[in-house]
Structure 1
Amino acid sequence: GEKTLCHFLLTVIYLSSIITAVSPMDEENIYQETKSNETLMDVNNATEDEIRKRLCQFGVHYTIESIMDVLKHPDNRKEETVYVLLVKYEETRQKAPVFLPEPRNRHPIISIDGFFTHGRTKIAKMVATALFGRRILMPTRHVARLRTYFADPAIKKHYYSLSKYMGAHLAMSYSRSAPVVLERYWHDQAAYVMAKSFEGLIPENSSLYEFPKDLLVPDIMFFVNGALNQNIHNETTAEKYAHNDLANKIATVYRRMRNP
């Protein structure tokens, strides 16, 4: 109990000090693979249900059932890679504990998300190492190789979504023996899609900013709004970041997330 609490408090202090050393830099984001030729939806002229449906099409789901409805559709399930993915997910789910103990009876679970891959990954690795914990990068290693084998690129969006639930099941198991750092969790994909796939921002009071109710909620969450860069005072890089509309839009979306 006391050891776990101490780990948790040290994590907050450690992350806070690291993130002050973050500076902007453009980097590739994994979800850029999920490009679409469809016209961007104007959120100001769409209902919340219409926006939710579009989010689902781009791989942002709010329940595991929603993901399974897509992957188990006859047109998708016949693909061998989807079949393997579903088998791997079920294996991971069955090995996980039925419930997550109270924080005082386990180690902390931390999520670290962010648009800038290098900064996010470096911080996640540093925190996991400092806490003698385990880092879970999504998609998890159990299914990471499947990423290149999908016949239909559109299915890959939902593969990323399912990987969040796989990571959650692993975290439930690992947190009994060590702190867990989740990298590229639900907010990472959701914030990117919300910023990239719509004209304008989803209204601030929308329930679409709420975390899935059936997905493991980390004890603490961080969004890395920049990348670790040796040239911290590089004005050219900073200016480039300041005018990166997508990065700024993602940061705004992330600030609107709630519950948690």
Structure 2
Amino acid sequence: MARRTMSLLPQWSSRVFSVELDGAPLYFGIQEKPRGEVPRLFRDALDGTCYSLLVCNSDRVRGAKFYAELKDKLSRDLHPECVLCPMSCFLPHTKDSLIKGYFLKANSESASLTERLLRGLIQHDPVLVCSYLQRENFWTQYLWPRTGTEMPRKYYVVPSAAPQYHPSTLNIVNSDVFYRFEEAYEVLKKCGDIIPEATSVLELLPSCVESRRKPDFPVIVIEGLDATGKTTLTESLRDTLGAVLLRSPPQCLSPWRARFDQEPPLIRRAFYALGNYITAEQISQEGMKAPVIVDRFWHSTAAYAIATAVSGSPCNLPAESSEVYHWPSDLLKPSLVVLLTLDPEERKRRLRNRGQGKTEEEQELDHNQLFRLRVEKAYQRIHGPACVTVDASPPADQVLQQVLLLIREKCHL
């Protein structure tokens, strides 16, 4: 941890800090001389002291686990009056510079307990702690030393312009979305001693990714949110075309899905990324004998991950030209990807009629319109191959005929 902290300090005053307040990021910077204007975050601050904790573990797997566990610890041990928000700091326009943590607002009743808790953390854990105090018309950041012999470093808090895109976009590649088999494999391999199930997953993986033959028959992927009719359509396509139907994540990962759904994004996304490579191996084998229909594939994995990593409005998503929307170079490419779309109210009605349990992300789709819009926008921006959108509101037989027409046109079936 000490090496990571020291590497930060020469660039410390160049960093921008972001605090998620009510789902929207607020930004501030620091400098060695005061400036008149106070950032909005601190204008709205409670009377008392604010604190920040940044997780600075050089082992990103253990860092991700610690970050998630730290939230539980803070939620449990902090005074009830203390406000806890996600935060990060980053170097503008610098890939992989984002460091995540938490921002605390403590009033006079909660300040002493908060300070004791943070003093205990900094002695043993991979965290960098700052306190923020108001002095006259300025807010001042004090960077805490890790030993009692050092003095805190002092900086003045100043406003900072919002970046063009959400700061999380700096760290999406091979953290929230994986673009090479080896990257996801290495994450789960490092999990072996802390998550025993990771070893079982690794044993299921194909031995070789690059040399896989392209299937002789077309591969058609059907994408869409829950209750847009994917199951009905994929089964109808299987029967009509005499095709093989596969689903992603593959059935062989089912025993471990609930376990990995509890893990932080880095580990959870690596698990689902490797599921795509297992599905690709199945596609490669089955596609030598018949057409293959796939219920969800990489588009779903990427769209949900991007939309979860980036908060707020869809305009916070990476630019349309960003590398995050590029199909992985070592993952089998389908012949056609169909994205089923449906009016949100109709989709909710269908979900109610089904009466089935929903994943946490599907529940978020229902309660958070911005999240749904981000997922939809990410779907639309992924390319190489891109999705062909089909309206799923007509009766199922009409949707089937429309998709069959597309398949005949694009795949010559």
TM-score bracket, shorter-length normalisation: 0.5 to 0.7
The answer to whether the aligner puts 1:56 opposite 2:169 as a matched pair is no
CA distance in 2, matches of 1:212, 1:133: 25
The answer to whether the aligner puts 1:71 opposite 2:181 as a matched pair is no
The answer to whether the aligner puts 1:162 opposite 2:279 as a matched pair is no
Q: Would the aligned equivalents of 2:220 and 2:334 in 1 still touch at CA under 8 Å?
A: yes
CA distance in 2, matches of 1:136, 1:42: 42
Q: Would the aligned equivalents of 1:55 and 1:194 in 2 still touch at CA under 8 Å?
A: no
Determine the structure 2 residue equivalent to 1:173: 285
The answer to whether the aligner puts 1:222 opposite 2:334 as a matched pair is no
Determine the structure 2 residue equivalent to 1:252: 377
SS of residue paired to 1:139:
coil
Q: Would the aligned equivalents of 1:97 and 1:173 in 2 still touch at CA under 8 Å?
A: no
CA distance in 1, matches of 2:289, 2:261: 39
Q: Would the aligned equivalents of 1:108 and 1:180 in 2 still touch at CA under 8 Å?
A: yes
TM-score by length of 2: 0.44
TM-score by length of 1: 0.68
Matched residue type, 1:61: F
SS of residue paired to 1:224:
strand
Task: Give how far 1:127 is off.
Answer: 1.6
Q: Would the aligned equivalents of 2:260 and 2:268 in 1 still touch at CA under 8 Å?
A: yes
Listed one character per residue, the Cα deviations across residues 195-226 of structure 1 (whole Å, up to 9, x for unaligned) are 22213111111111110000000011111223
CA distance in 1, matches of 2:87, 2:375: 16
Q: Aligned in 2, Cα 1:189/1:66: closer, same or farther, shift over 3 Å?
A: same
Range moving further from structure 2, 185-194 or 146-155: 146-155
CA distance in 2, matches of 1:181, 1:251: 22
Q: Aligned in 2, Cα 1:168/1:41: closer, same or farther, shift over 3 Å?
A: farther
* Alignment RMSD (CA, Å): 3.4
Unaligned runs of 5+ in 1: 1-35, 233-239
Determine the structure 1 residue equivalent to 2:318: 202
CA distance in 1, matches of 2:210, 2:242: 22
CA distance in 2, matches of 1:40, 1:167: 36
Q: Would the aligned equivalents of 2:219 and 2:292 in 1 still touch at CA under 8 Å?
A: yes
| Corresponding pairs, count | 208
SS of residue paired to 1:259:
coil
Task: Give how far 1:62 is off.
Answer: 0.4
Determine the structure 1 residue equivalent to 2:240: 130
Q: Which fold has the larger relative contact order, with Cα–Cα distance below 8 Å and residues 6 or more apart in sequence?
A: 1
The answer to whether the aligner puts 1:111 opposite 2:229 as a matched pair is no
Larger Rg: 2
Matched residue type, 1:206: S
Determine the structure 1 residue equivalent to 2:213: 100
SS of residue paired to 2:333:
coil
Determine the structure 1 residue equivalent to 2:75: none
SS of residue paired to 1:89:
coil
Q: Aligned in 2, Cα 1:71/1:128: closer, same or farther, shift over 3 Å?
A: same
Matched residue type, 1:123: L
CA distance in 1, matches of 2:307, 2:221: 20
Equivalent residue in structure 2 for 1:211, among 327, 347, 353:
327
CA distance in 1, matches of 2:299, 2:274: 13
CA distance in 2, matches of 1:80, 1:116: 31
Q: Would the aligned equivalents of 2:178 and 2:184 in 1 still touch at CA under 8 Å?
A: yes
CA distance in 2, matches of 1:125, 1:144: 20
Q: Would the aligned equivalents of 1:107 and 1:179 in 2 still touch at CA under 8 Å?
A: yes
Q: Would the aligned equivalents of 2:230 and 2:340 in 1 still touch at CA under 8 Å?
A: yes
Q: Which runs of 4+ in 1 moved over 6 A?
A: 40-43
Q: Aligned in 2, Cα 1:257/1:108: closer, same or farther, shift over 3 Å?
A: same
CA distance in 2, matches of 1:203, 1:41: 21
Q: Would the aligned equivalents of 1:97 and 1:172 in 2 still touch at CA under 8 Å?
A: no
Matched residue type, 2:171: K
More helix by share: 1
More strand by share: 2
CA distance in 2, matches of 1:46, 1:250: 24
Q: Aligned in 2, Cα 1:173/1:202: closer, same or farther, shift over 3 Å?
A: same
CA distance in 2, matches of 1:220, 1:86: 29
CA distance in 2, matches of 1:259, 1:151: 28
The answer to whether the aligner puts 1:148 opposite 2:148 as a matched pair is no
Task: Give how far 1:67 is off.
Answer: 0.2
